[in-house]
Amino acid sequence: MFKTLKLPLIKTAFTILQLTLVGGILFVLFQNQDSNFIFLTVFALSSSLPLFLVGQIPKGAGLFLILAALINVFTWSLGGPQDFGPMDEITHTYTGFAATFFIGFLLLKNIPRLFINYPIFTFISLVSFGVTIGVFWEIYEWGLWFFLPDQHIDSITDTITDLILDGLGAFIATTLLTLNQSFYSD
């Protein structure tokens, strides 16, 4: 998948997406969307880890996080996912995938024998991580609604659907990591 960091195409794509993310952060900052500014800044810092941990995280894993942040930038800063059809579902599925792939790669690159010695435990743990990210996001959305009444919040059905889709994204990422064990093993 992302065996090398030397691919100019991946480096170029990473740089372009990172600059686009910075542009999106400035966009929401100038629109006085403080909560989105904080959220996207955390995404930007997380996706920049490949720059600081060269050789440990493939640029592609950072690309996944940047794309997840960009999906959030364009949906939330332009009126929210409810204005874009299935964007809420796409955002949750992809964010669950990106976060799980990123943390899964870090974990399995540093402890490659986990899947060999404890495959089911590792698989369940990584999927649970993705669902946990979704739970924190739903708490964040509720907090926005509670403290900033002008924010939009949907029904409990939307919350449950979002959590299921976060889990689906996490399941897909964990499955890809499982199928590509040679990607992170010694």
Of 175, 185, 183, 163, the closest CA to residue 122 belongs to 175
Report the Cα–Cα distance between both ends of the chain, in Å, rounded. 15
Q: Which two tokens stand for residue 25?
A: 């952060």
Report the pLDDT value the prediction gives residue 128, as an integer from 0 to 100: 92
Range of the domain at 128: 8-184
- Cα distance between residue 176 and residue 116, in whole Å: 15
In a domain, 93, yes or no: yes
Q: What share of the chain is helix, strand, coil (3-state, %, to 5)?
A: 80, 0, 20
In a domain, 3, yes or no: no
Report the pLDDT value the prediction gives residue 76, as an integer from 0 to 100: 61
In a domain, 22, yes or no: yes
In a domain, 1, yes or no: no
In a domain, 125, yes or no: yes
In a domain, 14, yes or no: yes
In a domain, 2, yes or no: no
Q: Could you give the dihedral angle defined by the CA atoms of residues 70, 18, 105 and 53, in that order, rounded to the nearest 10 degrees?
A: -160
Report the pLDDT value the prediction gives residue 171, as an integer from 0 to 100: 92
Q: Is residue 163 within 8 Å of residue 127, measured between CB atoms?
A: no
Q: One digit per residue, pLDDT tens: the chain, 186 residues? A: 444 444 455 566 666 667 777 777 787 777 776 666 776 777 677 666 655 554 555 556 666 766 776 666 666 655 555 555 566 777 778 888 888 888 887 787 777 777 778 878 888 988 998 899 888 888 877 777 777 666 566 677 878 888 898 899 899 888 888 877 655 554
Tally of domains in the chain: 1
Report the pLDDT value the prediction gives residue 45, as an integer from 0 to 100: 72
Report the pLDDT value the prediction gives residue 5, as an integer from 0 to 100: 42
In a domain, 25, yes or no: yes
Give every CB contact of residue 43 below 8 A, 6+ residues apart in sequence.
21, 65, 66, 68, 69, 72
4: left (phi over 0), alpha (psi -120 to 50) or beta: beta
- Cα distance between residue 15 and residue 9, in whole Å: 10
- Cα distance between residue 137 and residue 139, in whole Å: 5
Say whether 36 sits in a helix, a strand or coil: helix
